[in-house]
Amino acid sequence: MDNSDMKQIQWFPGHMAKTRRLIASNLSLVDAVVEILDARTPLSSRNPEMDKLTRNKPRMVLLNKCDLADDKATQLWVNYFKNCGCAALAVDCKSGKGLKSILPTIKNTVLKELMEKRAKNGMTGAAIRLMIVGIPNVGKSSLINKLAGSKRAKVEDRPGVTRTKQWVKLDNNTELLDMPGVLWPKFEDQDVAIRLAFTGAISDDILDIETLAMKLLSYLAENYPASLTERYKIELSEEDKGFELLEKVGKKRGMMISGGEINTERAAITVLDEFRSGKLGKITLEAPPQKEQ
């Protein structure tokens, strides 16, 4: 992508250092780490230091928001993570799809050795402790609320209360460590930042809204042309660049300003909103790397 028109994203290394310390100091309290990613952007929504941060802890990846992602691509991503030695499941915290498989997968796969050791020592009742991590907006709170039910106290919503780490009980012998602190994605990679802006995971003002929508339209025309022709009833031609596509959408939707010009800003807002809410169909924004990274 040509990202020369992009604003530099501000991020705060201090926050990351604090979160890094929190994870490091709590790692010994848990048996496994559950990492939540966005199924539409599995690598872009990943904290680049996760391998280093969680060291050798058994780990599981959840590809959340699979209701918005391309099912075939999600399956490729599940296989990709499995080939990297990490259990992976596609889940949807909105409908609850896939959530019932999380704890059995952890017990039977991720923590198989530990469970066998405990069974041998007559300790099958001992609690399993999990740490849940993920960049903002990926669905951590939704997951915890779905798994723990409504009993969970929402400490972070009370003004003046500093959020500390909380143990959330999932069942009689599973506890989840809900960590405060913010894990950042790999902001300094501009393609990553653009994909995250497409999904709304980070503020979309890294680019002006029209440029962002044009980039999304170009990606869709190349990878999911039917989603554009079906949703907007437009015809695509080989020569169409992002701007022509944006104009076609605006024109078709009757978004005009005085003088017969097309209101491309309104069209841009519409395209991004409709993509984010799934109205353009199930779309994935990146494919697994060919080789393990």
Q: Which residues bind ligand G4P (CB under 6 A)?
A: 64-65, 67-68, 92-94, 134, 136-142
Question: By C-beta, is 3 or 137 nearer to ligand G4P?
Answer: 137
CA atoms within 13 A on the CB side of 53: 25
Is 140 marked as a binding-site residue?
yes
Amino acid at 179: M
CB 26 within 8 A of CB 119: no
- Closest contact distance (angstroms) between CB of 117 and ligand G4P is 33
The Cβ of residue 69 has, within 10 Å, a number of other Cβ atoms equal to 24
User: Rounded to the nearest whole angstrom, what is the least distance from the CB of residue 242 to ligand G4P in the complex?
Assistant: 25
Between CA 132 and CA 176 the distance in angstroms is 7
| 79 marked among binding-site residues | no
Cα 157 from Cα 102, distance rounded (Å): 27
Closest contact distance (angstroms) between CB of 10 and ligand G4P is 19
> Which C-beta is closer to ligand G4P: that of 2 or that of 157?
157
- 218 vs 270 by CB, closer to ligand G4P: 270
Minimum CB separation from ligand G4P for residue 195, in Å? 16
Determine if residue 64 is labeled as part of a ligand binding site: yes
Establish whether 125 is an annotated binding residue.
no
Task: Tell me whether residue 94 or residue 165 sits nearer to ligand G4P (CB atom).
Answer: 94
Task: Give the number of other CB atoms < 10 A from CB of residue 224.
Answer: 17
For residues 52 and 62, give the distance between their C-alpha atoms in angstroms, rounded to a whole number: 19
d(CA 12, CA 181): 12
Q: Which two tokens stand for residue 44?
A: 């872009």
Residue 44 labeled ligand binder: no
**Residues annotated within a binding site for GTP:** 64-67, 137-142, 181
**Residues annotated within a binding site:** 64-67, 137-142, 181
